[in-house]
A and B are shown apart, each in its own frame.
Chain A
Amino acid sequence: MSIEVAARTRLGAFTLDAAFLSEGGLTALFGPSGSGKTSLINVIAGLLKPAWGRVVVEGRVLLDTEARIDVASHKRRIGYVFQESRLFPHLSVRQNMLYGRWFAPRFDRTGSFDEVVDLLGLEPLLARGTAKLSGGEQQRVAIGRALLASPRLLLMDEPLASLDAARKDEVLPYLELLRDRAGVPILYVSHALAEVARLATRIVVMEEGRVVAEGRAAEILGRVDLMPLARGPEAGAIIDGVVEVHDEVFGLTTLASRAGRLRVPRIGLAPGATVRVRIQARDVMLALAQPKALSALNVLAGKVIEIGAGDGPMVEIAIDCGGARLVARLTRYSAAKLKLQPGAQVFAVIKSVTLDARAIGTAPEQATRSAGPASDF
């Protein structure tokens, strides 16, 4: 499973000149609004014709301007979940879901209707019209509709952007399931760091029409030199781990990770389940010695690897904790006072309170197991 995308084109005053590769799983296209993310996936879907471009999905060339290959949108087999659900108002939920299935060749259909309905929890909605669905329900139906067309690749353009926080939390677990169980590679466009951190196996960072960085999610989120990522208010690293044990008396869960044990407020996953914890940079304190008599439950030993540039009041510091990356945001004053330098031994202090349900999701299968993408279908 591989995706190869390259496009160069002018759009008004804006120039898109981007290329990236993906190996399946969920690849997040991350960047500020207007950085060309949507234009790039529109090129993949065939909704935008670039002056120059090449798109190859699973070895099938969909676009090659030099070879004059340009497969029509409806023949590309690329699923697309738009920011607004774009459900057909004249069809019921069931009819919407089955729309694309009808066009997919019978021998080439992946996933059964029942499995997709089950995966997205759509059973109670099937007979309804689309008008009275909530925003979150609409997006789930739209995802099911795209999935049932048996796409080779699923594009999702900020599918949560139009939802409020509660609806986002409702849909996010389904996106995790989709990533781990549907067996379809996903290209996920977003400018919301929290979503990207929770979902991505790989991240492609875009800025002003260009790709400025790409790599494994934990790697990219642990960098302090990427402007939109490291400097944003929500900057932070992710650590994948496994649920070790629940403490029912105090309502805590202990997770094992490469960085060490993390204790977080009780989560619903069973011991053995793989999880991803997002640790925001502003929630990390650094100490030069192992702190004693401290309320914070998580103290991770590590080594400073990089100190962010800039002369603002704040600075981001990348720390290696047993091979996992953590980012701490300190005042520049504190960093100077502690004389932090690359190589310095530090202890990262993280309050369990900051690691709430929103910060913890299931980890992508690929990131914790060496096997390829699992498929239940």
Chain B
Amino acid sequence: MLTLSQDEIQAITLSLRVAAVATAASLPFGVLIGMALARGRFLGRSLLNALVLLPLILPPVVTGYILLLVFGRQGLAGRWLADHLGLVFAFRWTGAALACAIMGFPLLVRAIQLSVEAVDPRLEQAAATLGANRLYVFLTVTLPLILPGVIAGAILCFARSMGEFGATITFVSNIPGETQTLPTLIYTLTQVPGGDAAAFRLTLISVAISLAALLASEALARRLQQRLRAA
């Protein structure tokens, strides 16, 4: 019952890698856009906000299909990236990571945006009067104060990526060893006779990973609260 097959181990490690890469790659953008949405007063702010949240409300299949149109081999961005940077997304694990990043992005940005809004701008003003330029103010005051929020957002994004199914299977299909992640393997197992035991096993693992991520995120959110109360 507890011994995993080659395919299963492969799917779990691939899922972990995809989720980790998706989270790490979207983190800088998440901080940037979270800061912009929390602090910025610019034209198109609501549009940017809606765009970031869109994957949360669109059917994942639709998101996956849009990704296929844009980043597929024939897609505008996809062809350019393949020609100039040698970066291919279609039917590769990198594509799975891209799909996961897009799907997890709203959660990441939301968490960061909320924590930026909780930072007292007067502290940043004080830092400026002490001689810190904007970059140093960000690095020494803003970033440390939003760090629990950033970490919480990253964990949510990671967990979301571990569970991503619709956009992934639409965009990069379900190729064992390349794009077959934990959820798509569970789906495959439920489609074949005798796959129940394996599907159940993987379901338990999936629940365990998600639960751990959620608990970690909660603990960090509490720490953020404490820190703000302390201020």
Contact = CB atoms under 8 A, between A and B. Distances in A.
Given A90-B227, A103-B136, A80 B145 contact: no
Nearest to B125: A47
B230 A89 contact: yes
Contacts of A73: 125, 128-129
Interface residues of B, number: 22
Chain B interface helix/strand/loop/mixed: helix
Nearest to B141: A88
Contacts of A84: 122
B195 interface: no
Interface string A60-91: 00000000000011111111101010101110
Contacts, number: 70
Interface in B117-135: 120, 122-123, 125-133
B140 interface: yes
B85 interface: no
B144 interface: yes
Q: A interface, how many residues as a size bin?
A: 20 to 34
A80 B129 contact: yes
Interface of A: 45-47, 72-80, 82, 84, 86, 88-90, 99-100, 102-104, 129-131, 145-146, 149
What 10 pairs across the A-B complex have the smallest Cβ distances? Answer: A103-B131, A100-B130, A131-B230, A89-B231, A80-B129, A86-B126, A73-B128, A90-B144, A74-B128, A149-B130
Interface of B: 120, 122-123, 125-133, 136-137, 140-141, 144-145, 227-228, 230-231
30 contacts: A46-B128, A47-B125, A47-B128, A72-B133, A73-B125, A73-B129, A74-B128, A74-B132, A74-B133, A75-B131, A76-B129, A77-B131, A78-B129, A80-B126, A80-B129, A86-B120, A86-B126, A88-B123, A89-B227, A89-B231, A90-B145, A99-B127, A99-B140, A100-B132, A103-B131, A103-B132, A130-B230, A131-B230, A131-B231, A146-B130
